[in-house]
């Protein structure tokens, strides 16, 4: 394929079968909408099909078609949708797909919506083999350790004589280990003619797409097969256990690709990276890390341990540990955690610090600013170099509306303060520890809003007589009196 124009890869159409009920999933969600690596099974199938740049891409829906069609409208608006009215087998599903492609000529690739490890590169290779051999039909096959449940490939020399399904196979045919992956390239005329000839003369009473192979052979047309060495790409999803197995394998492959590109993954067994994530060289992922959605991590950043980032942007050399963050921007050289919660709308400037047990929401934290401990910082703007003391609450909600508070450049908010929004603390201002701030604070001012301390002698003896506290107070007073008496002598 080297040196060929990208348009040489194009095929007339791809038909993805996604109409099955998936009853073994035992789910209200259609099987092809279950997700691994952050994408639905059918979306992964579409990604692979898109590598062929087909003129038309058709997804055949059936069971719970409304849910599947709505999902396709969101994730792949370029696809055409065909409906299989009744579950009459793979042949009927493809025939339903061709119904929206009248007069189709050229090559038609048929694949499935529940084979999530299949790659675009494999489909490109299959089409190239089809063209090189001038086949009318080319099957993707694999030799597997346990072929149970799969259609077996019966060969005559280097051609495929027929495919026999498990339920219809003889004992000798059941011993064959080359299986049909259910992925094909057809000459459109051969496919159309073969589908028209299908009859339900089998144990299940269904129309088998595999019988199109027999039709092509009977018509004297060449049927070939491309054996895929990576047989895991052919494995589908029929139940929750297989969903987990395919998900783990896809994650392993994603991590292997990133490690080859210069990412350090300390413990691949506990690290999960979804398909839409982007990582730069020299990123380090520590154990217990989960990167989801469209998260991107820049060069030199360290993520984890025990961290989940969803649709986040992380700058160079940032350090994020034991943190949950969603739709947040973490600037370069910034540190976050441990035990931080960054909610949507959080933006952390370069060299900022968000520390232990801090929650942020729609918070813009300026360059070099610090929110180190035990703080809720919601609907807030914190200027560069500002310091927010431990236990500070940005009281952003009055029960009706949410309002924003601002803390100026290089200002200091003392521990255990409450800023009742909306308030503005100007640049270079101080808020005394323990204050409740309801009004603006000007530049260079110290805001103090707390009652004067008053100590009431003898209160414990009168109000808590007979307690351990009273006994300790009595002993301390006696020791104090003895010390004072000794000092006076």
Do you find a cis peptide bond into 422, omega within 30 degrees of 0? yes
Strands 35-36 and 39-40: antiparallel
| Per-residue CA distances from 438 to 302, 363, 388, 464, 479 (Å) | 39, 19, 17, 36, 44
Q: Look up residue 487 and give its two tokens.
A: 């000092």
Q: Which two tokens stand for residue 464?
A: 């808590």
- Count the residues in the chain: 489
Question: Which entry of 78, 353, 373, 424 is annotated as an active-site residue?
Answer: 373
- DSSP lists the bridge partners of residue 82 as 60
| CB burial readout 426-461, b (16+ within 10 A) else e | bbbbbbbbbbebeeebeeeeebebeeeeeeeeeebe
* CA quadruple 330, 287, 250, 37: dihedral, nearest 10: -40
Note whether 448 and 425 are within 8 A (CB).
no
Indicate if the alpha-carbon torsion angle 295, 299, 301, 304 is positive or negative: positive
For residue 196, the number of C-alpha atoms closer than 13 Å in the C-beta half-sphere is 7
Q: Is the bond preceding 125 in cis, omega lying within 30 degrees of 0?
A: no
> In whole angstroms, what is the distance from residue 59 CA to residue 80 CA?
6
For residue 373 the two structure tokens come to 């401990």
3-state secondary structure 67-90: HHHHHHHHHCCCCEEEECCCCCCH
**Rounded distance between C-alpha atoms, residue 361 and residue 397, angstroms:** 12
Among residues 267, 329, 279, 275, the alpha carbon closest in space to that of 304 is found at 267
Is 373 marked active-site?
yes
Give catalytic residue positions. 373
């Amino acid at each position: 394929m080297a040196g060929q124009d990208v348009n040489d890869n194009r095929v007339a159409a791809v038909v993805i079968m996604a109409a099955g009920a998936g009853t073994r999933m035992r789910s209200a969600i259609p099987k092809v909408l279950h997700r691994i690596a952050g994408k639905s099974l059918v979306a992964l199938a579409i990604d692979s099909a898109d590598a062929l740049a087909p003129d038309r891409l058709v997804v055949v829906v059936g069971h719970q078609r409304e849910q599947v069609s709505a999902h396709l409208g969101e994730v792949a608006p370029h696809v055409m949708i065909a409906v299989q009215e009744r579950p009459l087998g793979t042949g009927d599903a493809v025939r339903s797909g061709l119904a929206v492609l009248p007069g189709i000529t050229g090559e038609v690739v048929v694949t499935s919506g529940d084979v999530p490890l299949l790659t675009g590169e494999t489909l490109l290779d299959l089409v190239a083999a089809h063209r090189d051999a001038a086949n009318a039909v080319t099957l993707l096959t694999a030799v597997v350790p346990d072929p149970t449940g799969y259609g077996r490939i019966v060969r005559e020399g280097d051609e495929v004589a027929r495919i026999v399904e498990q339920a219809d196979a003889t004992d000798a045919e059941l011993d064959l280990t080359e299986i049909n992956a259910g992925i094909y390239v057809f000459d459109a005329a051969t496919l159309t003619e073969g589908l028209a000839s299908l009859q339900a003369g089998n144990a299940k009473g269904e129309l088998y797409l595999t019988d199109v192979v027999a039709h092509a052979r009977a018509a004297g047309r060449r049927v070939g097969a491309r054996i895929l060495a990576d047989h895991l790409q052919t494995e589908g999803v029929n139940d929750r256990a297989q969903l987990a197995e395919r998900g783990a394998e896809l994650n392993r492959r994603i991590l292997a690709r990133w490690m080859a590109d210069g990412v350090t993954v300390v413990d691949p067994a506990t690290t999960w990276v979804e398909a839409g994530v982007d990582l730069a060289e020299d990123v380090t992922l520590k154990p217990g890390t989960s990167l989801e959605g469209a998260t991107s991590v820049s060069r030199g950043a360290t993520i984890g341990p025990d961290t989940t980032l969803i649709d986040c942007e992380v700058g160079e050399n940032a350090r994020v540990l034991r943190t949950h963050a969603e739709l947040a921007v973490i600037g370069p050289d910034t540190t976050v955690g441990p035990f931080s919660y960054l909610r949507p709308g959080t933006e952390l400037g370069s060299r900022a610090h968000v520390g232990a047990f801090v929650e942020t929401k729609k918070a813009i934290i300026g360059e070099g600013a610090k929110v180190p401990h035990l703080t809720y910082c919601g609907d807030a703007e914190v200027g560069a170099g500002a310091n927010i003391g431990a236990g500070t609450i940005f009281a952003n909600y009055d029960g009706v509306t949410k309002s924003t508070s601002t803390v100026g450049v290089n200002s200091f908010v003392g521990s255990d303060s409450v800023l009742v929004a909306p308030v503005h603390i100007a640049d270079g201002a101080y808020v005394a520890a323990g204050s409740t701030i309801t009004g603006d604070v000007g530049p260079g001012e110290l805001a103090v809003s707390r009652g004067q301390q008053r100590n009431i002698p003898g209160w414990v003896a009168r109000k808590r007589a007979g307690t351990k506290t009273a006994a300790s107070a009595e002993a301390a007073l006696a020791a104090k009196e003895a010390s004072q008496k000794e000092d006076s002598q």
